[in-house]
Structure 1
């Protein structure tokens, strides 16, 4: 039976910080992470999607968390094919980004991949890197070009633990499920299952497939009907009811039968909704969870 780790998709989200969840005296950067790591054994780092991580931050994250803690790190936007602002890159790489918009600059991509990987070094060395999460944009639909892009990403990320979340729903439609699962298994990557509203054209089905013996993931995005259209707060505003979480308990247990670790992460980042949902899910999962210091 694999370990089940429950946490949230950010410990630095402004809404969480302003909610009062962090106690007095622990509201600075160090205090927040230490407090979070006393409550949960895993966290997602989403800031690395918006800007390249640094070796310094990885060293600090490793130092401020107990042995056995896990960080799931989101891949930088340029690596997943998302639009990337020049300000997201170090100053010395910004001219190359401008050139890339006129003609693809593989040299820029090489450098960004190298810097991203180097920055994760301290997390890997300390055993705290859970996975690198590649969240691909909605325009990446199933097809030969998309499969080739996924293969290139995996080649560049050789040796990294890797997980994939698709935002185009067709990857997990009935006609593509088996091919998608087979591809991710071949690439040695973990498939990310998602919970989200199911009434929109862009809704990703809540399909659970374990494609790596090392890790399986579930990300709970909330069930707001403003997904894809509203502000960030509107898109993720949702308080999970116990019965909504209970739907996932047998699925998570089944995932733990096939993977060494299961990470259950809440992305309904409105106030303290994510940490409240994570605590509720932890209670529902019972004794099969892992505590922060285990």
Structure 2
């Protein structure tokens, strides 16, 4: 049976900081991450999508978390074909053409920055979330394969925002493609009808819970991801999580719904649901001495 790690997509969202989820006195980055790591064994680092991280920052993340803690790290926007502001690039790269040579240099710096997580065993996977504009086809497959070849010795997960990749007419090809790349297929929970997402690597399966807002593809970020999961909605996932856990050695469940403390609340509810059907999986809080509240 797989280890099932549950967490949230980020730990520094302003709405979360204002919600009161962190205890009083946990205003600085060090205390916030240390507290988070007593509650959950997994987190997604999404700041790396907006700007290249630094090795100093990721070394601090490693220092502030216990052994066994995992970071799933989003790929920088340029690496996945998203629009990227020049200001998000290092100054010496801002005037370069947006081509594969630039992506290769950006990848090199991105990988160097993540080395402290990789070297300390705290890297769960890299998350390459591809935009809706990346539609299935040979050109898109070449783009993804090139990214995978750069990251050939790194764990690599792929989330498609165009549901056509998992339409029954294309699902078998997508499955074979990701399996050949040794890339984890990311399942999602959204308001849209979901096609089954298969297990494509033996070491990791992954689900990102984006919420079920009626504004999923419109409006602000808060509009798109605003949702409070009910226990019934989460319980619907238990059979699928059972299936995933039987096919891989580790399962990551990440909550991306907002706002306020909606994500950690849903993550805790999922943990409680799973604890009744799976062998006990301790949280970091059960391995370490909890901080005083």
TM range (shorter): over 0.9
Q: Deviations over 1:86-135 (max 9, x none)?
A: 11112222122xxx1xxx44332221010001111000100000000000
Does residue 126 (structure 1) correspond to residue 115 (structure 2)? The answer is no
C-alpha separation in 1, matches of 2:135 and 2:207: 21
C-alpha separation in 2, matches of 1:151 and 1:218: 22
The corresponding residue for 1:209 is 198
C-alpha separation in 1, matches of 2:251 and 2:26: 29
Q: Deviations over 1:157-216 (max 9, x none)?
A: 110100000000101111111111111111001000000002xxxx6x252311011111
The corresponding residue for 2:214 is 225
C-alpha separation in 1, matches of 2:258 and 2:282: 23
Determine if contact 1:138/1:168 at 8 Å carries over to the other structure: yes
| Unmatched tracts of structure 2, length 5 or more | 288-293
1:1-294 paired onto structure 2 within 5 Å? 1-96=1-96, 100=97, 104-198=98-192, 205-286=194-275, 287-288=278-279, 289-292=281-284
TM-score w.r.t. the length of structure 2 is: 0.94
> For structure 1, which segment, 241-250 or 205-214, has the greater mean C-alpha deviation from structure 2 after superposition?
205-214
The Cα shift of 1:243 comes to 0.8
Determine if contact 2:167/2:195 at 8 Å carries over to the other structure: no
The Cα shift of 1:290 comes to 4.2
Aligned length: 283
Specify the SS of the correspondent of 2:145: helix
Determine if contact 1:194/1:221 at 8 Å carries over to the other structure: yes
C-alpha separation in 1, matches of 2:226 and 2:103: 35
C-alpha separation in 1, matches of 2:223 and 2:49: 20
The Cα shift of 1:145 comes to 0.6
Q: Deviations over 1:198-247 (max 9, x none)?
A: 2xxxx6x2523110111110000000011121111111110001110001
Determine if contact 1:208/1:251 at 8 Å carries over to the other structure: no
Specify the SS of the correspondent of 1:18: helix
RMSD: 1.2
